[in-house]
Amino acid sequence: MTRRLYLHIGMHKTGSTAIQETLKAYDDGTTAYLRLAHPNHSYGMTMLFCAEQAAELVQIGWVGSLGELEQKVADTRQRVESQISSGRQHLIVSGEEMSARFGASEIERLRAFFAQFFYEIRVIAYLRAPHAYMSSALQEVVKTRPCSLLE
């Protein structure tokens, strides 16, 4: 029986949050959505596979210290491995930051880890035309941060 990992890495502003919120509780007995602290697995995957960038999580206040980060990394690894061992045939992981932050070495670490458990890894990536991405990104900035376009 083929075990399959569905790895969703759509770029920002492609509906990733809606996909993650919709799938966060998905479990049909055969396929399950990975349950971490947040439905967006970007932080979890960054902690596990991007040691250099994981330290930035302390700087942005996601964790209070390097010691707390180390504990979160250990907890996240245990949660991932526990869910992989749960008997579900397929697993869904979704984190758009992987498309922006992961270089070749991080991708290889992720692949090597999941290849121990899954026969097939399917990558699903959503892309947007540059003008559509820029328009959406600007709308997000205007929506979330007060700014004047006249200055």
Predicted local confidence at residue 110, as pLDDT: 95
Predicted local confidence at residue 150, as pLDDT: 62
Residue pair 45/95 in contact (Cβ under 8 Å)? The answer is yes
Residue pair 88/2 in contact (Cβ under 8 Å)? The answer is no
Q: How far is residue 35's CA from residue 23's CA, in Å, rounded to a whole number?
A: 10
Predicted local confidence at residue 48, as pLDDT: 92
**Burial of 67 per CB tally in 10 Å (0-12, 13-18, 19+):** exposed
Predicted local confidence at residue 126, as pLDDT: 75
Q: What is the pTM of this model?
A: 0.82
- How do the pLDDT tens digits run along the chain, 151 residues long? 689 999 998 776 777 888 899 999 999 999 999 999 999 999 899 889 987 777 777 788 877 888 888 898 999 999 999 999 998 999 999 998 888 888 899 999 999 999 999 999 999 887 777 777 777 777 777 777 766 656 5
Predicted local confidence at residue 149, as pLDDT: 57
